[in-house]
Chain A
Amino acid sequence: MTEDWLSAHLDGELSAAERAEVDAALAADPVLAADYADLQRVRSLLRSGAVEPAPGAMDRIVAAVDAADRDAPAADVAPVLRLRRRRRVPTVAAAAAAMVIIASVVGGVGGTESLPAIGDLVAQHEVAAAVVEGAPMPDDMMAMAEMPMDDAMAAAPPMPEDLAMTHAFTDGPTMHLVYVTSGGEPISVFRHEGDADVEAFGAGSVVKADEASMWSAPHSGAYVAVIDGTGYVWFVVSAEPHEAMMDDMMHDLPSRSPSLGERLRDAADVVAEPFRFWE
């Protein structure tokens, strides 16, 4: 057994055999039993220590939510991008390509054994992008794509007309979104939970935009932007130079001016929330 079996035992997260093993160890080892008792006390403290909001706070918060939803245009408060539904969803080939890209991105984030293969990533992106306009997905994939996203799309606030999401895919902590600009340029956006290994992108130029930093790397006529984020890292792949990516992503904003990273986050949230509950 490992030490964390003690907590798992308290939480009822062990199998019968594992539980018996822990029970035997506790009976034989008073020090371990004392540790177990301490952990149990911590657990009980957390479970019993209810937190009371300040008097009137909850009424005030609920009223504020009602007011925000009633009075303010949705775009002023919540995500800026509307995830407009389009039928130009990817073919199986595109989905397969997307998975390859995701695999390469996952392999490259936060690790040292496998730096992001940007060339591969771009090449795969181009395959995916080329078929974004292709045939409709098979029924089963269509159902998969439609099920959790329809609600989000229906409820999401307006998106600038020049940027339409055509594709969304998640694989564990990585999400892949494909947007098409009014000029027909596909932009692939990957979000991965974890921090970027900035050193891996040292060859690219750094572009500052609001609070986001983009490391851009021209490659075979395409560009990869790596956007700094603590907890999240964004990869934006486009055939457009990064300046054009910025224009597309920043175009037609409402009064506030969120950063590119913030807009990506907002857009992704609309998609990510349903996906997180989609088991």
Chain B
Amino acid sequence: MSGDAQRGSAGAVPTWEEVARDHSRFMYSVAYRLAGNQSDAEDVVQEALLRVKRGLVTYTPGSLQGWLARIVTNVFLDETRRRKRRPQTALPDDPDRVIAGGPAADEDLAMRSLPDHIQTALNELTDEFRTAVVLCDVAGLSYDEIAAHAGVPVGTVRSRVHRGRSRLRELLT
């Protein structure tokens, strides 16, 4: 299983103070790689930490960072869905179907203020591929863990991780 080295101590239920003190930077890393800009990443971490503090998420002993990464990912995907939801009966305005187009003005500013060619490439991936790659490479989750989280077969995860990385390879070279 990959990523053991990145995981936190297993076993005891983490306290809120532990999570905030020791793991919020890790959560930020995952959130930033998913969200693609500082402002959204901070919002995602804040909501994820709030869920932890309020006990809205149940800790499963074994992989603290894996658990936190999944919470961050859930918040990110929820936010993405919330923003995409539109009162519409037709699909042409669906943002997913817009092929080209630069980042919104505020995202553009955030990206300029934090130049990062890895992030620029990651932002080009669809949510499915970016989430798979980030959970694998940034959060250190195994394919099994990612599959359980996404509710897809392990083979799908393997394909997404590979296709995501292959696309990044094209973008970064």
Do A and B come from the same complex?
Answer: yes
Whole-angstrom CA separation of A43 from B162 in the bound complex: 10
Give complex CA distance A54, B161 in Å.
29
Across the interface, A13 reaches (CB within 8 A) one of B2, B60, B89, namely B2
> Closest CB-CB distance, B137 to chain A, in whole Å?
4
A226 to B142, CA, bound (A): 35
Given A51-B29, A65-B49, A273 contacting B162 (CB threshold 8 A): no
A152 and B58 within 8 A (CB): yes
Separation of A214 and B47 alpha carbons in the complex (Å): 28
Q: Which residues of B contact A231 (CB under 8 A)?
A: 77, 80-81, 84, 127
With A51-B32, A212-B85, A232-B81: A78-B118 Cβ-Cβ less than 8 Å: no
Is A228 engaged at the interface, CB distance under 8 Å to the other chain? yes
Residues of A within 8 A of B42 (CB): 53-54, 57, 61
Other-chain contact of B88, A61, A78, A154, A228 (Cβ < 8 Å): A228
Contacts of A272 in B (CB 8 A): 74
Q: A8-B143, A43-B165, A173-B151 are in contact. Are A61 and B89 (CB under 8 A)?
A: no
Q: Inside 8 A of A269's CB, which chain B residues have their CB? A: 56, 74, 78
B54 at the interface (CB under 8 A from A): yes
Q: Any chain A CB within 8 A of the CB of B24?
A: yes
Query: Is A68 an interface residue when CB atoms closer than 8 A count as contact?
Result: yes
Q: Known contacts being A4-B162, A53-B28, A65-B50, is A229 close to B81, with CB within 8 Å?
A: yes
Q: Contact mask B51-87 → A, CB, 8 Å, 1/0?
A: 1011111111000000100110010011011101111
Pairwise interchain contact B172-A42, C-beta atoms closer than 8 A: yes
In the bound complex, residues from chain A placing their C-beta under 8 Å from that of B169 are 38-39, 41-42
Min distance, Cβ A131 to any Cβ of chain B, angstroms: 28
Say whether, besides A13-B142, A269-B78, A51 and B28 are in contact (CB < 8 Å): yes
CB within 8 Å of B: which of A222-266? 228-232, 259, 261-262, 265
> Is A119 engaged at the interface, CB distance under 8 Å to the other chain?
no
Docked Cα-Cα span, A223 to B39, in Å, equals: 42
Contact digits for B23-51, partner A, Cβ 8 Å, 1 yes 0 no: 01100110011000010011001100111
Q: How far is it, in angstroms, between the C-alpha of A12 and the C-alpha of B169 when the chains are bound?
A: 20
Q: Which B residue sits closest to A54, measured CB to CB? A: B38
Number of B residues with CB within 8 Å of any CB on chain A: 69
B residues 129-173 in Cβ contact with A at 8 Å: 133-134, 136-138, 142-143, 148-149, 151-152, 158-159, 161-163, 165-166, 168-169, 172-173
Q: Cβ of B67: which chain A residues have Cβ within 8 Å of it?
A: 277
Contact present for B138 and A148 (CB under 8 Å): no
Let me know if B163 and A53 touch, CB within 8 A. no
Instruction: Kindly state the separation between the CA atoms of A44 and B127 in the bound complex, as whole angstroms.
Output: 21
Partner of A265, one of B49, B78, B127, B163: B78
| CB-based contact A50/B136 at 8 Å | no
Task: Give every chain B residue within 8 A of A259 (Cβ-Cβ).
Answer: 85
The interface bits of chain A over 94-136 (1 if a CB of B lies within 8 angstroms of the residue's CB, else 0) are: 0000000000000000000000000000000000000000000
Q: In the complex, which of the residues B80, B118, B158 contacts A8, with contact meaning CB atoms closer than 8 Å? A: B158
Return the chain B residue nearest A198 by Cβ. B89
Task: Name the B residues within 8 Å of A77 (CB-CB).
Answer: 50
Report chain B residues within 8 Å CB of A210.
87
Give the distance in Å from the alpha carbon of A65 to the alpha carbon of B44 in the complex. 12
Asked if A230 and B84 sit within 8 Å, CB to CB, the answer is: yes
Find out whether the CB atom of B24 lies under 8 angstroms from the CB atom of A46: no
Q: Map CB proximity to A onto B94-124 as digits: 1 under 8 Å, 0 otherwise.
A: 1010000000000000000000101100000
A39-B165, A61-B46, A261-B85 given; A53·B25 CB < 8 A: yes
Q: Mark A74-94, 1 if CB is under 8 A from B, else 0.
A: 100111000000000000000
Distance between Cα atoms of A161 and B123 in the complex (Å): 43
Measured between C-beta atoms, what is the minimum distance from B41 to chain A in Å?
8
The 6 closest A-B pairs by CB, nearest first: A4-B162, A173-B151, A46-B137, A7-B162, A230-B84, A274-B58
User: Apart from A11-B161, A213-B87, A273-B71, what 17 extra A-B contacts exist at CB < 8 Å?
Assistant: A6-B162, A53-B28, A54-B42, A57-B28, A64-B46, A65-B49, A66-B53, A78-B50, A151-B58, A198-B89, A211-B86, A228-B86, A231-B84, A232-B81, A259-B85, A277-B57, A277-B60
